[in-house]
């Protein structure tokens, strides 16, 4: 690509925090309830009600801050962001403006084998709004305030990404991180994790940024990539045809696959932020931070490194196994339980198991094969009870049923035969039936050896110990 243009992208990610109750009220945050059944007096913004901060949301924001090695503000302040909208009950959103809880941090992304560090400007706590429902109300608008007051962490990156690919890598990495930390369920269909993209272009080599457009509310990795690519194309075409990019908010239409203008800067709201007098400043001291640090889970990068060293895994397997905390935990439990070489465990988890899960569209947490049952199978491979080939057959049975590997092996008679007498008898018969091939081998055609192995294994339905068969065949054919 030899475009004279350079793209600059910054992302604002909204991660819904996985607290049980809302950020300023005791109402439940569970998704999918009947409209307005999870909105209490505070969420409805009734006259006289007051917000009370949910400490769990603060804890989660601090965990996040530590994970991106950011400065945690010892003093942060909630502010009111004023605008009118029917699904914003109070006429203002409680957010943070001048003094956010999480300051400057960073996240490393990998694109085409190259690691790039993306700066994070800040992350702040705020409440979500409700939803306006425009369908099924005969020209009227319905308001559902169940989501109003759900805690959000808005994570703002520096404008340091230079392609849609990098933006997607950043978003994926962030998605992985918040799930790792257990602070967000990452469910993008339900809107638990969504982003706004600030996109601009400039001639290569120019220092100043071009005028940016903000694409709002993108809720899938695919759409982020498409929306950015479209926006970049639009801006370049516009400039090259003599036009000028205006600062504005745009919406990505996934059906038409295009972005379109929502409002320009001139029409933009003046949000009139000011400190919320109903809430005290959030004070975070060293003791609070130490307490959280002690409970901070091992982060993906560190875990990957440890997997490579402790289990001698290659980069590919280590990356795959640490892509989610649940998968990494599963793998480690299998290794512990199976007492088998970690490499074999890794191959089974990333191979058979992940393939089956992907095919069924399941997450590791919903795996029909528990780590105990998979470990049970791997044990029988290690102690030569079954061969690798038979093991695949056992795995299928594990996937479909509830029996243990041992029960399946026993029931289906899959135990490997190491009884030399039984193997010898079969070898003798096969040699007698195929004297021609015996002669060929003896006259130096080593290749025929494979034929005999195949015949013996076939005769024994794959249950013969391959090592034993080799050894005995070699002795007999001599």
Partner 1 sequence: MYNKSIAELAKGLRSGQFSSVELTTAFLDRIKQHTALNAYITVTEDLALQAAKAADIRLTKGDAELLTGIPMAQKDIFCTEGVKTSCGSKMLDNFIAPYNATVVDKFNSAGAVMLGKLNMDEFAMGSSNETSYYGPVKNPWAINNVPGGSSGGSAAAIAARLAVCATGTDTGGSIRQPAALCGITGLKPTYGRVSRYGMIAYASSLDQGGPMTRSAEDAAIMLQTMAGFDPKDSTSVDLPIPDYSAGLNNSLEGLKIGLPKEFFGEGLNADVAATLEAAINEYLKLGAKITEISMPSLKLAIPAYYVIAPAECSANLSRFDGVRFGYRCENPVDLADLYTRSRGEGFGKEVKRRILMGTYALSAGYYDAYYIKAQKIRRLISDDFNNALAEVDVIMGPVTPSTAFGIGEKIGNPIEMYLSDIYTIAINLAGLPAMSVPAGFAKALPVGLQIIGNYFSEDKLLNIAHQYQQVTDWHTQTPKGFE
Binding region for partner 1 (CB under 8 A): 41, 44-53, 80, 82, 84, 86, 89-92, 143, 270, 272-274, 277-280
DSSP string, 341-405: -HHHHHHHIIIIIHHHHHHHT--GGG-SS-HHHHHHHHHHHHTTSS-HHHHHHHHHHHHHSS--H
Q: Read off the tokens for 444.
A: 């130096």
Least separation in angstroms between CB 16 and partner 1: 23
Which among 134, 132, 154, 151 is positioned nearest to 143, based on CA atoms?
Answer: 132
Least separation in angstroms between CB 145 and partner 1: 8
- Residue closer to partner 1 (CB basis): 46 or 291: 46
Least separation in angstroms between CB 288 and partner 1: 18
Contact (Cβ atoms closer than 8 angstroms) between residue 102 and residue 112: no
CA 320-322-328 angle, 5° bins: 110
Least separation in angstroms between CB 82 and partner 1: 6
Partners of 119 in the beta sheet?
106
- Residue closer to partner 1 (CB basis): 48 or 113: 48
398: left (phi over 0), alpha (psi -120 to 50) or beta: alpha
Least separation in angstroms between CB 88 and partner 1: 9
SS in 3 state form for 289-353? HHHHHHHCCCCHHHHHHHHHHHCCCCHHHHHHHCCCHHHHHHHHHHHHHHCCCHHHHHHHHHHHH
Least separation in angstroms between CB 92 and partner 1: 5
SS3 111: strand
- Residue closer to partner 1 (CB basis): 48 or 450: 48
Distance CA 39, CA 45 (A): 10
Task: Look at the alpha carbons of 370, 371, 376, 380 in this order and tell me if their dihedral is positive or negative.
Answer: positive
- Residue closer to partner 1 (CB basis): 94 or 375: 94
- Residue closer to partner 1 (CB basis): 43 or 468: 43
- Residue closer to partner 1 (CB basis): 59 or 175: 59
Distance CA 156, CA 120 (A): 6
Least separation in angstroms between CB 276 and partner 1: 8
Least separation in angstroms between CB 87 and partner 1: 9
CA trace torsion 356, 328, 112, 250 (10° rounding)? 90
- Residue closer to partner 1 (CB basis): 97 or 111: 97
Contact (Cβ atoms closer than 8 angstroms) between residue 76 and residue 99: yes
- Residue closer to partner 1 (CB basis): 71 or 272: 272
């Amino acid at each position: 690509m030899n475009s004279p243009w350079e793209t600059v992208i910054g992302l604002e990610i909204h991660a819904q925090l996985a607290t049980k109750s809302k950020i300023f009220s005791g109402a439940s945050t569970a998704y999918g309830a009947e409209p307005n059944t999870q909105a209490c007096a505070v969420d409805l913004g009734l006259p006289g009600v007051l917000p009370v901060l949910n400490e769990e949301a603060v804890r989660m924001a601090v965990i996040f801050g530590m994970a991106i090695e950011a400065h945690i503000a010892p003093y942060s302040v909630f502010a009111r962001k004023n605008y009118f909208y029917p699904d914003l009950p109070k006429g203002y959103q409680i957010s943070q403006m001048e003094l956010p809880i999480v300051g400057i941090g960073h996240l490393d992304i990998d694109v085409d084998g190259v690691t790039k560090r993306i700066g994070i400007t800040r992350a702040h706590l705020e409440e979500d709004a409700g939803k306006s429902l425009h369908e099924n109300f005969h020209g009227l608008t319905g308001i559902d305030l169940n989501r109003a007051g759900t805690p959000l962490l808005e994570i703002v990156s520096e404008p340091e990404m230079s392609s849609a690919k990098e933006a997607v890598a950043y978003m994926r990495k962030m998605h992985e991180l918040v799930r790792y930390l257990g602070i967000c369920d990452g469910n993008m269909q339900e809107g638990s994790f969504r982003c706004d993209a600030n996109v601009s272009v400039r001639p290569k080599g120019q220092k100043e940024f071009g005028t940016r457009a903000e694409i709002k509310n993108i809720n899938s990795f695919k759409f982020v990539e498409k929306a950015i690519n479209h926006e970049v194309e639009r801006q370049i075409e516009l400039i090259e045809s003599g036009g000028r990019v205006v600062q504005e908010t745009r919406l990505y239409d996934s059906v038409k696959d295009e972005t379109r203008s929502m409002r320009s800067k001139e029409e933009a709201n003046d949000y009139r932020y000011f400190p919320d007098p109903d809430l005290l400043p959030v004070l975070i001291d060293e003791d609070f931070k130490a307490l959280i640090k002690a409970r901070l889970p091992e982060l993906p990068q560190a875990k990957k490194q440890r997997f490579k060293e402790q289990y001698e895994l290659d980069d590919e397997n280590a990356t795959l196994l640490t892509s989610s905390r649940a998968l990494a935990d599963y793998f480690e439990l299998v290794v512990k339980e199976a007492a088998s070489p970690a490499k074999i465990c890794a191959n089974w988890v990333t191979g058979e198991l992940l393939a089956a899960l992907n095919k069924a569209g399941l997450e590791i947490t919903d795996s029909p094969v528990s780590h105990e049952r998979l470990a049970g199978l791997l044990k029988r491979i290690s102690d030569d009870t079954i061969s690798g080939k038979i093991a695949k057959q056992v795995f299928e049975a594990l996937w479909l049923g509830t029996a243990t590997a041992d029960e399946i092996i026993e029931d289906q008679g899959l135990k490997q035969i190491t009884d030399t007498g039984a193997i010898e008898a079969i070898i003798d018969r096969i040699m007698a039936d195929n004297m021609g091939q015996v002669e060929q081998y003896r006259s130096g055609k080593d290749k025929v050896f494979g034929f005999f192995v195949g015949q013996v294994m076939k005769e024994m339905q794959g249950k013969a110990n391959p090592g034993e068969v080799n050894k005995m065949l070699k002795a007999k054919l001599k």
